[in-house]
Amino acid sequence: MIDTRAEHALNDGQYGARRATCEAVAAREGVPTLRELPDPQAVLARLTDPVEQRRVRHVVTEIDRVGRFVELLRAGRYDGLGPVLDASHTSLRDDYEVSCAELDVAVETARAAGALGARMTGGGFGGSAIALAPADRVDAIAAAVTAAFAGHGWTPPQFLVALAAPAGGRADR
């Protein structure tokens, strides 16, 4: 986890506006949420407003990416997780437009320094990114991201390293 220490700007209504756009499209299509669209591609083709198109495209493709990520985890195909994270960040940056310079630099630098994939997390407009990396690359990634932030004159980022572990389960009493 890379805390960019960039201030969140969620209280200015931008995130809510994105959500409202998606809710309005879902309502026009007669479904409670975009997840229930029977043919998302047909809806995207009908949208004429480029902002609506980008927002809806992000949501429907993110739904697909989450499903793909789960499939890869269940199949033990961890090598495929990085590109899914990368595609998610690209969509959050370009279609949902909730990234910021600090998040983009953290993600791009982590990838260049050896992360398998990375993406912003949370509501965006500041905050944190996650990077999936082999344990032997963590220190190099942290050093590279810290150096990149220093090069921009930004507050140094903070890092939280978490190691993969077996999933929790119910304990029989």
pLDDT of residue 154: 97
pLDDT of residue 158: 98
Low-confidence residues of the chain, pLDDT below 50? none
Q: What are phi and psi of 119, to 5 degrees?
A: -160, 155
pLDDT of residue 80: 97
pLDDT of residue 8: 72
Structural domains of the chain, ranges and CATH numbers in brackets: 2-159 (3.30.70.890)
Q: Encode pLDDT of 57-104 as tens digits.
A: 999 999 999 999 999 999 999 999 999 999 999 999 999 999 999 999
pLDDT of residue 132: 97
The residue among 98, 138, 95 whose CA lies nearest residue 116 is: 138
pLDDT of residue 11: 58
